[in-house]
Structure 1
Amino acid sequence: MPDDVGTPTAKPTIWERVVDDLAYAYDGVFSRQAVQRAVTEARESLEPVSKIPDYLPILATRHAKEQLQAAAQADGRIAKQVPEILFVCVHNAGRSQIAAALAEHLSAGRVHVRSAGSAPTGELNPSTITVLRERGIDLAEAYPKPLSDSVVQAADVIVTMGCGDACPIYPGKRYLDWDVADPAGQPLEVVRDIRDDIQARVTALLRDLDL
């Protein structure tokens, strides 16, 4: 047996693997340091509201990727293929999720949609999931996301619903404020009415954008 068997190499942590994967995906667009920063910020923003810790790396990966993509679009490093709509409400658990899901469903890929919250909660409103499932829309992978400058700057149209002055204002963007009831704590019949109200508004917006 040789005397020197070498020093075992430590396995990378799950967060190091997340950074490795995203750094590879965005090679030539962002430095590893920028990717590391995006992952750290995603983890720190989602960890306080994450209900199931085991899911945190998956959600933080998605969020970091979305922030990197938005930042690259805002800076012109990645060209946008379709218009971008951002829906914002306070908790990103009801109204903005309904609007984003309906816009994505109705536009059939002709627009890219994001949603965010000025004070996101840890999970979606169960009634939101139910009323969208009734329309054949699955929110299995959706989660409340915090609002950031990157997603606002990447958007062409920003639709706010009850988040007041929390959304930053940038020149050259189109801002809409929809007076839509909050589904939180409402019976299912009321949430269905809210869904239908949002669908009518989304349909009118898509038509206005010639989509």
Structure 2
Amino acid sequence: MPAVPEVLFVCVHNAGRSQMAAALLDHHAQGRVHVRSAGSAPADQINPAVREVMAEIGLDLSTEFPKPLTDGAVRAADVVISMGCGDACPVYPGKRYLDWELPDPAGRSADEVRPIRDQIDARVRALLAELTS
């Protein structure tokens, strides 16, 4: 692993789960991990309920936007975490791939998205502990 490991979170629309995961890891890592997120078919904007539940814990996603999954982003990552992206993620030797099965926040209310955020937060904290130990 390099001095600063790079983690890429991927989901189809890059509007919910991967955005929450990236913001949470970036927040907790405080520069010890480089974080990106992307989508195989990026949406037009981040899910408003996702923005709302992240703002509740002090993380502002108002300047974030869904980004396309690029070959370069996958090549640069040490750890690639898919969140329901299926076969859209290119696979390269030497990378670590994880698949986090999580409910899709699309079309859900803030009350329904909060538990998804909290599940992601727990997984992100465990990943950070592993990457920085």
Structure 2 length normalisation: TM-score? 0.96
**Number of residue equivalences:** 132
The whole-number CA distance in structure 1 between the counterparts of 2:112 and 2:125 is: 20
Amino acid at match of 1:194: I
What is the CA distance between 1:184 and its match in structure 2? 0.6
Tell me which residue corresponds to 1:159: 81
Tell me which residue corresponds to 2:44: 122
SS of 2:108's partner is coil
The whole-number CA distance in structure 1 between the counterparts of 2:29 and 2:73 is: 20
What is the CA distance between 1:82 and its match in structure 2? 1.2
Q: Does 1:88 align with 2:6?
A: no
Tell me which residue corresponds to 2:122: 200
- Give % identity: 63
SS of 1:115's partner is strand
- Show the 5 A alignment for 1:23-62: none
What is the CA distance between 1:119 and its match in structure 2? 0.5
Give unmatched runs, 5+ long, in structure 2. Answer: none
Larger deviation: 86-95 or 186-195? 186-195
SS of 1:137's partner is coil
SS of 2:15's partner is coil
What is the CA distance between 1:187 and its match in structure 2? 1.7
Q: Does 1:105 align with 2:9?
A: no
Kept in 1, the 8 Å contact 2:8–2:73? The answer is yes
Which has the larger helix fraction? 1
What is the CA distance between 1:81 and its match in structure 2? 5.2
Tell me which residue corresponds to 1:61: none
What is the CA distance between 1:117 and its match in structure 2? 0.1
The whole-number CA distance in structure 2 between the counterparts of 1:130 and 1:109 is: 24
Give me the CA root mean square deviation.
Answer: 1.1
- Which structure has more RCO (C-alpha within 8 Å, separation ≥ 6)? 2
Tell me which residue corresponds to 1:77: none
What is the CA distance between 1:210 and its match in structure 2? 2.1
What is the CA distance between 1:140 and its match in structure 2? 2.1
Amino acid at match of 1:199: D
CA shift digits 1:134-154 (9 cap, x unpaired):
111111221000001000000
Tell me which residue corresponds to 1:39: none
Kept in 1, the 8 Å contact 2:18–2:37? The answer is yes
Structure 1 length normalisation: TM-score? 0.61
Over alpha carbons, which structure has the higher Rg?
Answer: 1
Tell me which residue corresponds to 2:71: 149
Which has the larger strand fraction? 2
SS of 1:151's partner is helix
Amino acid at match of 1:165: D
Tell me which residue corresponds to 1:46: none
The whole-number CA distance in structure 2 between the counterparts of 1:141 and 1:170 is: 31
